[in-house]
Amino acid sequence: MTSSCALLCLRCRSFLCSKTGATTWQYTTQVRHCTTVTSVATKIPNGFSFFRGNHRTNQARQRWKQQMLSYSDLTARNLATEAKEDKFTEELSRTDVVAYKSPLLPIRDAVSLKEIQMPLDLDAAAEFSALEEISDEEAVSISVPVAIPPASTSLGDYVDKSETLSKLVQLGVNLWKLEQRPNAGSMLLKLDFNKDVAPRLLFLKEIGVEDSRFGYIITHNPFILTESLENLQTRVNYLKSKKFSSETVASMVSRAPYLLNFSVKRLDNRLGFYQQHLNLGASNTRNIVARLPRLLCSSLEPVKENLKVCELEFGFKENEIQHIVIAIPKVLTANKRKLTQIFDFVHNTMKLPHHLITKFPQVLNTKYLRVKERHLFLEYLGKAQYDPALPNYISLDRLVSLPDETFCTDLALATLEDFYLFQKTL
């Protein structure tokens, strides 16, 4: 196909050259005609004709000069055109398979088509046609690159395209919870798993966090993946310097994912707050913080409010509040309305004094409906007696902690069906 194109171009060149030669011959004929006219005019014998002949000769000379200038311009253009065509023919002949030889000249050193061939076959590089049939094996082997959606309201659209998200899902991270967090999804898409995520997971494993807790930690605190390893290690070292054991630190981090996101200064201020406001020693302070590590992460306003409620509204003394907090640290972060509702029922309806509630503070950490239903059932049976000094004493601890079946058989001495029937009357 390439040889045919080269031959066609050369034929066009021969045609152009022949056309140019014809044009040149036409201008040459006109110049000769002008010269003949001039010579005829100069042969008139009389004087009048001589002067008129001289005048015509001058005009003919001027016309001849103009014709010669036109002929010179045309010849220069033709020469320039031939030079360009010769250069193009030379370049084309270099890329052709067989060198072109003019049919008017003798062919020397002719070379056959089979002897000289270019190593690059242009036709072989052509792509398959869209209408060409292919086999099933070729169709299955065709891979179409998938593009990441430019915008989406769900991280699920990016799981198949993002290595970080796919591996986080394998770790147990709940992406639907992260979608509700502002800027969390875009932050995760920008992370590289090997450079950003894997080093943090290895750090958590080194301090004692179990692999099964990785999904819970990242689900609740994905921004731990953006903390520097140096800061994370500094905060762990601070907790250990306060005599928290390595096992305790690992347990605190597992249950309070935001713990390592806070600076050392903030952690130190929180520990000092609980030690001063509750008048606790260092050992008791470590005890309540280790059992409820979110005390170091959550806001201090609910804690301050609950301490005032226990002192001013409930009427507990300072040492009673200390005993309740050491036994049930959740009292500090409990909902104020629920805490007030339970205390009002236990103290005013069940007639339990402060010292008995302080002795069994678990009653303040139970569900209001459970305490109410069981007390009313015992009162219906005539067994609601909670004073340890009197017979048929019912322990408040067992009242709120036992399951329904054990409560009926051991404390109420009734059947579970009777208790369910009584609940329907409430």
Question: What span, in angstroms and rounded, lies between the C-alpha atoms of 390 and 367?
Answer: 26
Helices 282-291 and 246-255: angle between axes, nearest 10 degrees? 40
Per-residue tokens: 272: 């000092």
Question: What span, in angstroms and rounded, lies between the C-alpha atoms of 82 and 92?
Answer: 15
Which of 225, 228, 286, 299 is CA-nearest to residue 257? 225
Write b or e for each residue in 175-207: b if 16 or more Cβ atoms lie within 10 A of its Cβ, otherwise e: beebeeeeebbebbeebebeeebeebbebbeeb
**pLDDT at position 324, please?**
96
Question: What span, in angstroms and rounded, lies between the C-alpha atoms of 324 and 356?
Answer: 11
Helices (H), 171-213: 175-178, 184-190, 198-206
Q: Outline where DSSP puts E strands in 237-371.
A: none
**pLDDT at position 141, please?**
77
User: Is residue 396 a contact partner of residue 360, using CB atoms and an 8 Å limit?
Assistant: yes
DSSP symbol at 279: T
Per-residue tokens: 396: 């408040």
Question: What span, in angstroms and rounded, lies between the C-alpha atoms of 279 and 5?
Answer: 101
Mean pLDDT by 10 residues, the chain (426 residues): 48 46 43 39 38 47 60 58 54 44 41 45 52 77 59 62 85 85 82 92 95 93 93 96 95 95 94 93 94 93 95 94 95 94 95 94 94 96 92 92 94 94 92
Residue 342 CA neighbour count, 13 Å, CB half: 20
pLDDT, tens digit, for every residue of 112-171? 444 444 454 445 444 556 677 778 887 777 765 555 555 555 676 667 778 888 888 888
Can you give the C-alpha Rg of the chain in angstroms?
52
Backbone angles phi, psi at 127, to 5 degrees: -75, 165
Q: Outline where DSSP puts E strands in 154-195.
A: none
Q: Which amino acid is at 214?
A: F
pTM beyond 0.85: the answer is no
DSSP symbol at 158: G
